[in-house]
Amino acid sequence: QISGLLPTSIQKLWSLEELDLDYNDFRGPLPQLPSGLKALDMNDNPNLTGSLDSLTSLTHLAFIALHGTKISGTIPEAFSSLSDLEVLTVHSTKLRGQMPSSLCANHFDNGGKLEYISADCNPPGRVKGCPCCQCYPRIDATEPLSNPVPVPDFRQPDLPTRRPRPPPRMKPRAPPTLKPRPAPTRPPSPDLREGPPGTVYSGPCDLDDDKRTLRITQKIQKHVLDNGNDETRGRELKHRKSNPPPSATDLALEWLIKNDSMRLCPSDQNLIQRFVAATFYFSTGGDDWNECGRNDSGKKRNNEGASKCEDGGKWLSPIPECSWFGIGCDRGGSFIQISMENNNLIGKIPPALSQLTTLEVLALEKGRLTGCIPESIGELIGLKRLDLDFNNLGGQECGFPDLSKLVNLEQLDVNDNSELSGDLRNIRKLTKLLFISCHNTKFSGTIPNGLGINSSKLQVLTIQNTEIQGDVPESICNLRIDKGGRLYHLVADCDMECSCCTECKGKKSSF
């Protein structure tokens, strides 16, 4: 219900990457927007006017949703220079004229990044010549709709992932903005003085070194290891008396007790969270990350430009962990996001992540992670996005975790893990799923009919190059846009019977 003009001062928000103000009542023309903007989501503001010309200089734009507005004029030829553009929705507007042919040349079918474009190009549409468009009848934003045209719900917390040449990826992502996010300030405890073992500190711990070490170890043993799954339960945590070599949990504990200048006390409410974060760091080879490891020099490891941690945010640095690179927190200082795309993560996903009970986004794509996806991931009931694609997860000893408790899950993205096995049965009752991508894996079984019945919001399903067999159920086909649903991208192997697939991969098919 927000109304009025967008302030021109919005241009001064230099770091703004996503502007999501859809389904309001903003009026007047679009002002000049920040040059770093990646997502503009202003659809369904029926009194919003202006043209697209002001957007041509925003070269980082990947997502533009302006349908259901009074945006007018033509679609600029200069839009073809927006090389990162993946989504453009401009139907139900006052735009008219010829769609630039160079824009369709950037479509993913032609090797580009543009995944989805919609316009009023159904005859007698205002927009002409758009072979790559999803065409809609001409509808003015001011006209009431007795039968609204179904369109994909693009109001998602993230941008489409940039891929070298993937299938469409309308993912709920927020970018990941991997810059450190502001977090509640938690200053170091005053007991930072060096001293011999047995020194009694005057800080809030009021413990000597030995007692502080013992109580922290006992708390982590009780709350993290003894409450973990079979991979951690019953493990004896030792304070780095390492023979054989220390595990990630051993290294994390030693760092937390000895080397962390924050010097937390056993009673600190963020003790477990900070320990789990350190465990994640050591388990995924943090010292070898491309950016923001503890030894980050301010430059990327490949020497191509400045690191995102040039101004702070290095992991294991003496600042609140909410300010570490790739971490997002709520107002209470609890983790809600870990986003690490293409950061050279090597190793395994630690089961201890299940202790981050407020986590909503786990995005570790484009790494070299191996081993099993921990069963304990299925305990993160607040998780909305699980994004682990383009890794080396799976293997003969690994099953796929039971995700049936993840009732808030919107995105399951595990494609391109060639040894990852699993099936779709344990997600068939999840009602909020928007995006399922499991192509190029060893997923098997059949597509459960319940997936189409329960996941009515589904927009993307890709299952090609897997071991999934059988027919695509009619309940899935009924989710297609042309049948009143939201499913606009459905890809399967060509030897599967599918009357509604948008594309098939593999053998010659009749659809």
Helix axes 271-283, 209-220, angle to 10 degrees: 80
Residues 48-97: pLDDT tens digits?
998 998 898 888 898 899 999 999 999 988 888 888 888 899 988 998 88
Is pLDDT larger for residue 508 or for residue 380? 380
pLDDT in tens, 422-436: 999 889 889 999 999
> Average pLDDT of 36-59?
89
Q: Looking up tokens 């030897």, which residue turns up?
A: 495
> Mean pLDDT for the chain?
81
Beta-sheet strands, E only, within 333-427: 335-339, 346-347, 361-363, 368-371, 385-387, 392-393, 411-413, 421-422
The tokens for 56 are: 């041509």
Contacts of 292 (CB under 8 A, 6+ apart): 307, 308, 309, 313, 314, 315, 324, 325, 326, 343
Tens of pLDDT along 6-19? Answer: 888 887 786 788 89
For residue 185, pLDDT over 60 is answered with no
Segment among 147-161, 202-216, 241-255 with least mean pLDDT: 147-161
Q: Which residues contact 260 (CB under 8 A, 6 or more apart)?
A: 274, 278, 316, 318
Reported confidence tier of residue 449, pLDDT bands at 50, 70, 90: confident
Residue 207 or residue 237, greater confidence: 207
Nearest to 433 by CA among 175, 176, 172: 172
Residue predicted with more confidence, 395 or 132: 395
pLDDT, tens digit (0-9, with 9 covering 90-100), for 124-162: 678 888 888 888 765 444 444 334 434 444 334 343 433
Question: What pLDDT was estimated at residue 107?
Answer: 81
Token representation of residue 423 = 């099936």
Res 378: pLDDT:
95
Q: How many CB atoms lie within 10 A of CB 190?
A: 12
User: What number is the average pLDDT over the span 329-334?
Assistant: 92
**Tokens standing for residue 503:** 């594309």
The span from the CA of 88 to the CA of 55, in Å, is: 12
What pLDDT does 187 receive? 46
Give the mean pLDDT of 288-305.
Answer: 75
> Are 31 and 50 spatial neighbours (Cβ–Cβ below 8 Å)?
no
Q: How confident is the model at residue 226 (pLDDT cuts 50, 70, 90)?
A: low
